[in-house]
Amino acid sequence: MKLKIKQATLMEHLNYVIKGISSKNLIPILNCIKFELTNEGLYLMSTDNEIAIKTFISQNQIEEIEKLGDIVVSGRYIYDIVRKLPNEFINIEEVVDNKLFISTKHSSFHLNCNNASEFPTLDLEEHKHPIVLKQRVFKNIISQTSFATSTQESRPVLTGINFKLVEKQLECTATDSYRLAKSMLTIDTDLTDDINIIIPTKNLIELTRLFNDDEESLEMHIFNNKVIFKFGTIVMMSKLINGTYPDTSKLIPTEFALSMKVNLSMFFDSIDRASLLTNESDKNTIRLESKENQIVVSSNIPEIGNVEETLDVTKNNDHEIKIAFSSKYMLEALKSLDCEDVELLFNGEVSPIIVKNPETEQLIQLILPIRTY
């Protein structure tokens, strides 16, 4: 393998594949990046066996392709070296003894390479009927739901986001069993089979970090045990989580005893201040109590002090509510919304609270109350 390439071009693509490498991986080959130089251009690949990332630099972006071939080299070292080189042409050449020679006008590096044949084969085939979304739309779904995912490995299915497609209706759900986030979307697809998969949340977050153009398309190719995302020059594979996602459809009530509307940013700030006088050990419990057209949000830590926040609300009837919940969960739910007023829906102090944009059903945030009254 021998080529000459601009530092900035190579760096852009190393930035993608470096995200496929976990620094904690004990298997040396999984800390490596594979370079594969063909007549069409240079492919870069990385994998930690849970995800794989592949990117492509077309031959017209490469100054000189002198000799085809492939090498496998420590990802962290090649990444740092190229990052610290000036934006000039870099010569990259495989030399004797399985060594990579990287040189510019002033610098020359020799790096020991791994055996290319030991690098895992990446099966990144395409599906006939991918789901196609804008990167921006997909990023929104992930930011609206991912925070509600469980971090407890004891229930693996809850560490992922459930993607469910029934008749062009895509439902993305995350829950840690104390709260739930559900984002819904109608999509245009030729897929005839229903889909019901669980994708690890951490991989979806890595994916959205690779996005480089909000208005460009993302293809989602779904298989039995993996999903492949394609966008721009990048292909990313994620394994799926095995198991059955809990049926959450019956959790969300359809009728409510009370609906109230409150200014989103004022409500957020009040909860944020009230959360100062809560403890994590106490589930960050705060109380909300309505009285006619006002609510009082309150909390206290006995040895420190207490707080009361008063806000104006608009209610749909004269029911009153007294309820307690985690301020952390409420703040995260509110952050996912982008509207002037937020709608809060209640069925009493032991029933789930629904938090949503009053104008749309596209995004539903559900929070279970904490029994204190």
* Residue ranges that bind a copy of itself, judged by CB under 8 A: 74, 77, 80-81, 84-86, 99-100, 106-112, 266, 269-270, 272-273, 276-277, 303-311
Q: What is the smallest separation between the CB atom of 23 and a copy of itself, expressed in angstroms? A: 15
Nearer to a copy of itself, 261 or 319 (CB): 261
303/361 with CB nearer a copy of itself: 303
> d(Cα 59, Cα 45) in Å, to the nearest integer?
17
Cβ-proximal residues to 69 (8 Å cutoff; 6+ apart), any chain = 1, 2, 37, 94
Residue whose CB is less far from a copy of itself, 40 or 80: 80
Tokens of 205: 């977050």
Please give the Cα distance from 170 to 184 (Å, whole number).
6
Nearer CB in complex with a copy of itself: 137/266: 266
Residue 27 dihedral angles phi and psi, to the nearest 5°: -90, 110
Please, what is the minimum distance in Å from the beta carbon of residue 373 to a copy of itself? 21
Choice between 5 and 52, CB closer to a copy of itself: 5
Q: Are 369 and 285 in contact (CB under 8 A)?
A: no
Q: Name the minimum Å distance from CB 201 to a copy of itself.
A: 29
Q: Taking the complex as a whole, how short is the minimal distance between the CB of residue 177 and a copy of itself, in angstroms?
A: 30
Say how many C-beta atoms besides its own lie within 10 A of residue 194's C-beta: 9
One-character DSSP codes across 138-157: HHHHHHHHGGGS---TTSGG
Single-letter residue type at 251: L
* Least Å from the CB of residue 45 to a copy of itself: 21
Are 363 and 336 spatial neighbours (Cβ–Cβ below 8 Å)?
Answer: yes
**137 or 296: CB nearest a copy of itself:** 296
Q: How far is the CB of 308 from a copy of itself (least distance, A)?
A: 5
Alpha-carbon distances, residue 3 vs 38, 93, 105, 171 (angstroms): 11, 6, 15, 46
